[in-house]
Structures are given as C-alpha cells and as structure tokens.
Amino acid sequence: MRITTLFAVALLAAPLSLIAGGEEENWEPLFDGSDVAQWRGFNEAEFPHGGWEIVEGQLRTVPDGDRVDIITRAMYGDFELYLEYMTPEGDRGNSGVFYHVSEDADSVTHIGPEIQILNDNDPWLEAEHSVPAPMRATGALFALDAPNENKRVNPEGEYNSMRIRVEDRRGRVWLNGPLVLDYDLADEEMLERIADSRFAQRPRFGREPEGHIALQHHGDEVWFRNIWIRPIEE
C-alpha cells in the first residue's frame, strides 16, 4: 500500500485547526514528512535508519531491519500528542506509543506506559495470552485498561488518528475523534492492577514526571505521519 507523494504532501500541509478541535497554539512538529531530526534510537545517539525509513512523506518501520525503538530527543512532562498511524492489510502491525520514557532502563517498556497500536483483525488477539485481548488491542493502555465502546478503527490499509493527553498521572486517548480511554495511574484501582500485572516488579513504571516519547519497533510494518506535540504548561 502506497499513497502518492502529492497526496502525502497535501495531508502534511493540513492546517493545525484539524488537530485537537481547533486549538492551534504551541503545537510543534515531531515528524513533518521530510526528516527525523527530532528522533533518535533508544539509548543511541543517532536515528536508526536500518530499522526505520521515510517513504513518500511517511515514517515506516522496516520489518526485517534493526528492531530499535525510537524516542524524541526532547523530554516532556505534561503534553498533548497527535499522530496518524496505519497497519497494512494482513499484517499484525504491532507497535505502541510510550511516554515518560527514561534511558536508564533496559527497555522503553520498563518505565513508560504504552498506548497500544495493533491491527485488531489479527488472530493473535484471539490466542491465549497473559494479557486479556481488550487490554492489548489498539487504543488500550497496554495490559492495564481497555478502550471504551466509542472506539472506531478504520479498515486495514487506512490511516487512523490518535491524540494522547497526559497531565500528571492522568492519561486520555482519542481515536479517530471520540475519547476512548481515560485513566489515572495514581488511582487506587489502577495501582492494584499494576501490582497484579507484569509491571509489579518495575517500581518506577508510570511514576516518572517527564521523559521521552517513544514509538515501538516490534518487528511489524507500521506507518506514521503528521506527528505533533504540544507541551502543557502548569
């Protein structure tokens, strides 16, 4: 699946009024279709071109390439993030958006909460797993919370929009428009879920006040475009 260069440029030039309900102030591009200057590999100084590439204004994982997660060069506390992603037809498209990632850990998964990206038509969701299927489907707070009934996902091969807003330890996720997830990592019930999860032995999980944004390379093909961020000032 490819979109024409002309179409890609038109999308990337779309006004910021299309993002986050018309609130245009303070948005900064993290990927505008032309370069990856705002990104580097996790625990690496440079961008991992062996695992990621720009194709017609879109950022694509190279499935058979280097499986290196990428992180923003800057760190963020409270923020709002907008991006568009696509999983190709017939591909699992497993990836994720992590935040408050620290590089003094062995993996982005050890500290940063993950908003899951996945092709929900993949049979993997029906397979036995330690994490219930709704908590590893696209839009989920991986392993901890499932998206609500407002969730709508576009067909394989089409782009989806995702907006993530993080304030203190509260996170909210909008998928293709509607709010699908609203959680608080400091909530008593959520703390109990974390204590019963794979993160129980990670005392810093979800507790960092700031960190890098990360996009996961899980070995599958996933496409990204129109990545913007807006720091939220106190």
What is the residue range of 48's domain? 5-15+26-231
pLDDT in tens, 178-225: 999 999 999 999 999 999 999 999 999 999 999 999 999 999 999 999
Residue 120 belongs to domain with CATH number? 2.60.120.560
Q: Is residue 21 part of a domain?
A: no
In sequence order, which residues have a C-beta less than 8 Å from that of residue 107 and are 6 or more positions away? 42, 69
Q: Is residue 137 part of a domain?
A: yes
Rounded Cα distance, 31 and 39, in Å: 9
**Is a pLDDT exceeding 70 seen at residue 5?**
no
The count of C-alpha atoms lying within 13 angstroms of the C-alpha of 105, restricted to the half-sphere facing its C-beta, is 18
Nearest to 198 by CA among 132, 150, 119, 122: 132
pTM, entire model: 0.91
Determine the pLDDT at residue 11. Answer: 46
**Is a pLDDT exceeding 70 seen at residue 22?**
no
Q: Is residue 71 part of a domain?
A: yes
pLDDT in tens, 112-121: 999 999 999 9
Q: Is residue 160 part of a domain?
A: yes
Q: Tokens 């330690």 sit at which residue?
A: 130
Choice among 15-24, 59-68, 164-173, 186-195 with the minimum mean pLDDT: 15-24
